[in-house]
Amino acid sequence: MQVTGPGDISSKHTGSKGASLNEIESAFGPEVKLIALSDCIVVRFGLALRALPLQWPLGSPAGATEANVAAVGCGGEQGLMGLTFFREESLTEFLAKNAVLCGILVTRYQQTFVAWLKPINRLPPNGTSEEGAIISDGLVPVYAPAGAPWCCSLYQYGSPVEVDLHELIFPGRLRDLFDSWVLREKFGSPFIGGRGRLRPNTKYWANLIMKMLDLRLNQVAGLFLVRDSQTQEESTLEPSKLFRLVAGVLQQASEQQAIIRESSVAKIVKELKKLCIAKFALTDLAMQFARNHLERRAGAILQKNEAAARLRDFLKTRGLAPPEAQLRKALKEAVFVAFLCHESRSSGRVFRWLALRPAASEPDAINGEPPSPGHPQPKGG
């Protein structure tokens, strides 16, 4: 894969700073070895065209010096992944949605921003979208000597962040690149079996369809609700329509002539119902937490990280351990519904005029034991 930045990329230079080779080496740490790029026509063309990544054979066996362009290798023993963004706004959105990446190292190559991750997962394949690209195999330039016609700089001081990719929230089409890979990592191949008798992987397809449609379940009527991604309006999706939709998705995706039986589709619909119920439980418990553990307080500023940690502990006592991204989304929505309070980002991710209640005054401490795990109280009609 070769990536080149689009022509309308942001031309802002806010935060960019030329750095010495020592500063770059210090930012990446002693475990990461910088690689000098060969002084050849292929490298010069690649740099001029802003191609990413450069291929491994273009690295020189000689060590990096201040006279050469130096790169960092993605993948391999170092296990680094460069998440590139063609626009500064996309990078800003990504970092704002992922508090766990506070202190991440971001370099700049020409007009492309590269956030450096050290995933604990197996690395995904290289991929590109209109917002940016995943680089997990190849070389990314990070240093250029003074006076060079191509620019490499430090955009944000920090270090590569060790992270679980399953927990990150990706913007736009980058999310599409990750969704299928993350589901494969977590649940296995879309179709399983052997000897010409492939069948759909129930958990893979249920979770993928759940992500695609943002399904909810009206447990009283037994009907699924689907949210329009543009208008945010919900419409009813009867079980028979969902059944046909799931069957159509499977048939379209089955390039290997997998056996699509009605029983396989029924299992996926049943799993979707389970996922919707779990989603409802998280939403309901997050609302309980907001009403019982938070309070308005004049002049108070509540850090979202602190509130999320307390919510995580609250959910554990009730048998729930949702992914971090889902937890934070549920917290944000519950705070808005309970207090009409938006999350503020002017001084970090905070809730203004809100505070955690002292433990002794929390209703749970006053009223006794928490509700049984997996059985939240139903909402009023």
Closest Cα partner for 5 from 125, 81, 117, 85? Answer: 85
CATH number for the domain whose boundaries are 278-367 = 1.10.10
pLDDT of the residue at 322: 82
Q: Using an 8 Å Cβ cutoff, are 124 and 178 in contact?
A: yes
Structure tokens that stand for 304 in this block: 């979202």
- How far is the C-alpha of 123 from the C-alpha of 264, rounded, in Å? 30
Q: How many CB atoms lie within 10 A of CB 146?
A: 7
- Rounded to whole angstroms, the Cα distance separating 85 from 130 reads 9
CB 50 within 8 A of CB 110: yes
Q: Domain locations in the chain?
A: 21-166, 181-275, 278-367
Instruction: Report the predicted TM-score, pTM, of the whole model to 2 decimal places.
Output: 0.59
Q: Which of 343, 341, 340 is nearest to 303 (CA)?
A: 343
Return the structure tokens found at 35.
């690689």
Q: Which residues 6+ apart lie within 8 Å of 91 measured at CB?
A: 85, 106, 113, 115, 132
Report which of 125, 130, 131, 150 is spatially closest to residue 71, judged by C-alpha positions.
150
**How many residues are listed for the chain in this entry?**
381
pLDDT in tens, the chain (381 residues): 444 443 333 333 334 556 889 999 999 999 899 999 998 999 888 888 888 899 999 998 878 888 889 999 999 888 999 999 999 999 998 998 887 888 899 999 988 999 999 998 888 899 888 889 999 999 999 999 888 888 899 999 999 998 888 778 887 778 877 877 888 888 888 888 866 678 899 999 998 888 778 787 776 677 788 877 667 677 888 878 889 989 988 888 876 556 788 999 999 999 998 888 888 888 889 999 999 999 999 989 999 989 999 999 998 888 778 878 788 888 988 998 888 888 886 666 789 999 999 875 555 544 444 444 444 444 443
Round to whole Å and give the CA distance between 228 and 237: 12
| Phi then psi dihedrals of residue 55, to 5 deg | -75, 150
- Omega cis (within 30) before 53: yes
* Closest residue by Cα to residue 215 from 320, 231, 223, 110: 223
Q: Which CATH class, in words, describes the domain spanning 21-166?
A: alpha beta
User: What is the structure's pLDDT at 86?
Assistant: 93
Check residue 52 and report its DSSP letter. Answer: B
**Is 58 exposed, middle or buried, given 0-12, 13-18 or 19+ CB atoms closer than 10 A?**
middle
Nearest-angstrom CA–CA distance, 334 and 290: 6
What pLDDT is stored for residue 147 in this prediction? 80
- DSSP, collapsed to helix, strand or coil, labels residue 305 as helix
As given in the structure block, the two tokens for residue 320 are 């729930």
